[in-house]
Structure 1
Amino acid sequence: MPFVLPLLGLAVFAQGTSEFMLSGLLPDIARDLHISVPAAGSLTSAFAVGMVIGAPLLAMLSMRWSRRRALLAFLVAFLLVHVLGAVTTHYAVLLATRFVAALANAGFLAVALETATAMVPPDAKGRATSVLLGGTTMACVAGVPAGALLGELWGWRSAFWAVALLSLPALLAILWSVPADRAPRFSDAGPGTRGELRALRGPRLVVLLLLGALVNGATFCAFTYLAPLVTEVTGIGAGWVPAVLALFGLGSFVGVGLGGRLADTRPVPLLVAGGAALLLGWTVLALTAGTPMAALVLVFVQGALSFAVGSTLVSQVLYAATGAPALGGGFATAALNVGAAIGPWCGGAALTAGLGFRAPLWVSALLTALALVLAGVARGARRRTVRRGVPSAQDAPA
C-alpha cells in the first residue's frame, strides 16, 4: 500500500470524529451558546444533510481538478471551518460551519476513494478502501470518546481545535505524496458528467448502492440507540456506555480489516454469508439484549459484520463503476450517508411508537432482511438475463 493511504485514512479519522463527536458535546454547546439542546442537535442534522448532498455534487464539480488540487481544497476548507467553529459565538455561524464541513468531508472522501483505488493495482481496491474506511471506524473507537473527554476537560471548542490539528498531517502528506498533476482528473475526451451519470444508472451499480444504504441504515439505527438499550434493557450502568460504544467501534475496525482481506478475492461469499449472519445477529441481539454477556459479545460481532459487509459493498461499487470513475466514490459515499440518516430516523419512529428500546434492533434486522431480498431478486434477474443472452458487465445486476 502507498504510504499516503494511511495518512489519507488519518484525514478520514479526523472527519469521522467531527461527524460523531457532537453526541457528547451537545449539552455544553447549548449552555455556551444559550440555545436549547434540540437546537444544538440540529448541528448533527446539518452535517448529515451536507454529507448526502456534498458527495455527488462536489465529485461532479471537481471533475476538472486534479486529484491533488481537489484533496487539498476539500481538506483546507474542512480545517478552516473547524477553526471558525471553534471561535464563533453565534449559533447560526456554527450551524453553517457544520454544513460546509460536511460538504468538504463528502467531497474529500469521494476523491480520496478514487485516488486510493488509482494508486494500487486493479485487484486491490478492497484493501485500499478498507484503509480509508478504517479511519471512520477508529473515529468510533477513539475519536468520539477523546472528543467527549476534551470537551469535559477544556470545553467543546477544544474538540474542534483537535479535529483541525489532526487534519494537518494529512494535508502535508497530500502535498508531498500525491503527484502534482495539473491535468484535470477527467478531460473532454472522457465520458464527462453526463456519461458518468448514465453509467451510474446501470442495474448492477444501482443495486449495490441500494444495498449499501440498507446495510448502513441497519448499522446506524442500532448504533444510535445502543446507549438506552444497554442502560434500560441490558441493565448495566450509564458509566459503561462509552465502553460499549467503543466495543462496537473496535468490532467495526476488525470488520473493515477482514473486509479488506476478502473483498478483492471472495466478495460474493463474504456478502452472502456476512449478510445472513448480520440478520441473525440483529435478531439474536434483540432477543438476548437483557443478558449482559450476550449483549456485549453481540455488540462486538455486529460491529465487525456491519463494517465488513459495508466496506465490501463500497469496494464493489468502485469495481463496478468503471464507466464512472469520478462519481462512483461520490455516490457510494452518498448512499452510505442516506442509510446513516434513514436508519436512525426509522429507529426513532419505532421508539416514538412505544415499541420499546429493543425496537431499533428489530428495525436493523428488517433493513438487513430487505437488503438480502433485494440481492436475491437482483441475482435471479441476472440469471434470467443470462439465459436470454450474455449481458454486459455494467448492465448485469449484482
Structure 2
Amino acid sequence: MANLPLPVMLTIETTSTESPRIVWLSSSKIQQTKEVKVELLIIEQDATQAEIYDLAFGDDFKIFVVDNMRGALEILEFNDIKIVVSDWQIGEHKASIFCDQMDVNNAYATPVVVVVSDEQDDETIRDAFNAGVSHYITKPYNIISFTETITGIKSQLERVSKMAQDTADSREVAKTALSQAAIYGNGMEIIAALNNCSDLESMAKATLSTLQSHGIHCAVQYRDEVVTSFDTDLSPCDPTMEKVFEVLHDQGRIYRFGRRLMLNDEHVSLLVKHVAGDDPVLHDAILDMGAKLIPAMNARFISLLQQQALEQTHGQIDDVLEKLRDTIGVMANEKKRIVESVTQKIEESFHQLAMTEEQEAFFLKLIEQELTLDSENDGIEDIDVLLKALSSRLAQRLEATKIKEEAPVNDFLDVELF
C-alpha cells in the first residue's frame, strides 16, 4: 500500500450516535480537475478495502468514500452520483435506501446500486433485487470481474448520456428549424395579405399585426409625395421614431443598430423595434426573412400607387368627357343660331343686289351649304369617341384588377406554418 496516492481527507460532523464519518477523494482525481468523470460513491467501513477501491477505480472515476449510510445520503444530495457500491446492510440501514426515490419512468435518473456483501442467502438477494439493486456481488469475488462490471456500468451510462445529449441536440435543431420555418411562413402570409389591401392603412395592418402576433414589434413608413408612418398599433409614429426613419431610410437594405433593425427599400422602410426572446437563431431568421420581405412590400406599394393613378386617370377622363359633351352641345346650338341668323340676313339683302330669282336661289343655297359644312363638329366628335373608348377600357381593366372586399381579419391572427 506504500505506493498508493495519498487521499485528501475531509471530516464531516455527525450525531453523537454515530462515529465521525471520513470522506476522502482520490488524489489522482484532484490532479485532473479538467476532466469530467463519472462520480462513484463507495460506502466502505474497512479503510484497506476503501484504498483498494481507489486503486482500482481512481483513474476512471471521481470517487467519494464514506463509512456510513447517512454520510452517503448527504453525498448523494449534493453531487451527481452515478454509481453506488455498498454492502447490503451497514448499521441500521440497507442499501435499498438508495433506490427509494427511483423513477420508474427513467431508470437512469437515480444511481446504479451495486451491492457487495457476505450475505449469500437467496431471500436476501431477492430482497435486494426487488428493492431496485442492479448488481449483487457476493464475497469473496474476482477483482478483475468486479472491476469489469463497474467499468461496464460506466460505459453504459456514458452511452446513455451521449444518446440523451444527441437527442437534446436533435430536438434543439428541430426546434430551430420549426422556428425558422414559422418566421418564413409569416413572411409569406404577409405578402399574400398585402395583395388584398387597397390602401396604406390596411397594408400596414396586414404587416404589423401579423408580426406582432409572433412577438416581432415593428413600425413601417411609406414614402411618395407624402410620407406616411404607422407604429405597431397603427397609430402615427411619434417624432422620435419619425426621426429614426428620416436618418436611416437611406442607409442600405439592412441597417442594424443595437438590438434594433431597419430594413429599407426605395419607398418603404420597416423598423424592427423589439423581438420577444433572445434566441440568436430567431433573430437571424427574422433578418433573412425581412431582407426578402421588404422588396415585396415596396413592390406592392408601387403597385398600389399605380392602381390609384389609374383610378384617378379614369375619373379625370370621365370629367373631360362630361365637359366635352357639354361644350359640343353649346357650340352646336351657337353655330346653328349663327347660321340661321346669317342666312336670314343674306336672304333679306338679295333684293338690293338686283338679282333674278334664280340667282338669289343659287347663292342662297351655296351660302347655306358652306355655312352648314363649316359648322360640322366631326373633329370634336372623333375626340369624344376616342375618349369614350379609352374610358371604357380603363373601366374594364380597373374592374378586372379591383381588390375584392373580404371579411375583416383578427388583428392578432396567429399564423402558424406547422
In the superposition, the TM-score normalised over structure 1's length comes to: 0.18
Q: Which structure is higher in strand share?
A: 2
Higher radius of gyration, 1 or 2: 2
Between Structure 1 and Structure 2, which shows a larger proportion of helix residues? 1
